[in-house]
Amino acid sequence: MKAPTSHPSVSEMLEAIHSARVPFRGHLKQCEECRTLYVLLREFREPDRPHLTAPPAETLQRWVVVPLLEDNRRPAGRIHGRLAFDSWQVRELAGMRDMPNGLVRRLCLRAKSVVLELVGERQAGCWDFTARVYQRNRVSADYVLKVGRRRLLPDNQGFYLWSQPRAPKTVSLLAPHAQIEFDAVKW
């Protein structure tokens, strides 16, 4: 028998799912990581694809944050983020009215080890936005981007893409463990 602190392997989880006997049930109650993987394997197992042993790590992480798209409860910790770079401050263009089409603004928002890079381009009647989150200098797909009331998941490369008639007033990042709220930016 395994020590109580050891994690079951993916093959042991697949065997338990197939046989409907779970000898590590107590471990699943205590270990959130193993419980999440076990539920994912159970939900997405396909009997005609025995070569699939585990979902990709990116798929697992995205599956964990999906409930944040609809859930209105606040994550456990609240973190305050600040503006670290604004391309309009460099050119002294902040707060411009009657902006021409094609005008681009680049923002870098920072909170602890998390950086949100946001690029907005003014088009006829709307703004097109691209954003990406970095955590410890690596692209992170661990967050849901909340822009006003809208909630967005990143694509496979970690980009959040959207358009809206006006520039956003509020921007925040949501994760199961924290909510990062950034200072409002004047457009």
pLDDT above 70 as % of the chain: 75
Q: Is the pLDDT at 6 greater than 90, yes or no?
A: no
Residue 84 shares a structural domain with residue 135: yes
Instruction: Answer for the pair 173, 100: CB distance below 8 angstroms, yes or no.
Output: no
Q: Tell me if 60 is assigned to some domain.
A: no
61 found inside a domain: no
Does some domain include residue 5? no
DSSP letters for the chain = ---TTSPPPHHHHHHHHHHS--TTHHHHHH-HHHHHHHHHHHHH--TT-TT--S--HHHHHHHHHGGGGT--SPPSEEEEEEEEEEHHHHHT-TT-SSPPTT-EEEEEEEETTEEEEEEEEEETTEEEEEEEEEETTEE----EEEETTEEE---TTSEEEEEESS--S-EEEEETTEEEEEPP---
pLDDT in tens, 50-103: 555 666 776 776 666 666 666 665 556 889 999 999 888 755 554 455 556 668
Q: How far apart are CA 19 and CA 25, in angstroms?
A: 14
Number of domains in the chain: 2
> Tens of pLDDT along 161-183?
999 999 888 999 998 878 899 99
Query: Rounded to an integer, what distance in angstroms lies between the CA atom of residue 76 and that of residue 130?
Result: 27
First to last CA, the chain: 62
The answer to whether residues 166 and 67 touch, using CB atoms and an 8 Å cutoff, is no
Same domain flag for 40 and 131: no
Is 110 within the bounds of a domain?
A: yes
108 lies in the same domain as 142: yes
What's the pTM?
A: 0.59
In terms of domains, do 49 and 88 share one?
no
Q: Are residues 81 and 51 in the same domain?
A: no
Please tell me whether residues 110 and 170 are part of one structural domain. yes
Do 41 and 47 meet the contact criterion of CB atoms below 8 Å apart? no
User: Which residues, 6+ apart, have CB-to-CB distance to 62 below 8 Å?
Assistant: 141, 153, 154
Same domain, 89 and 156: yes
Domain assignment present for residue 72? The answer is no
Q: Domain span at residue 38?
A: 10-55
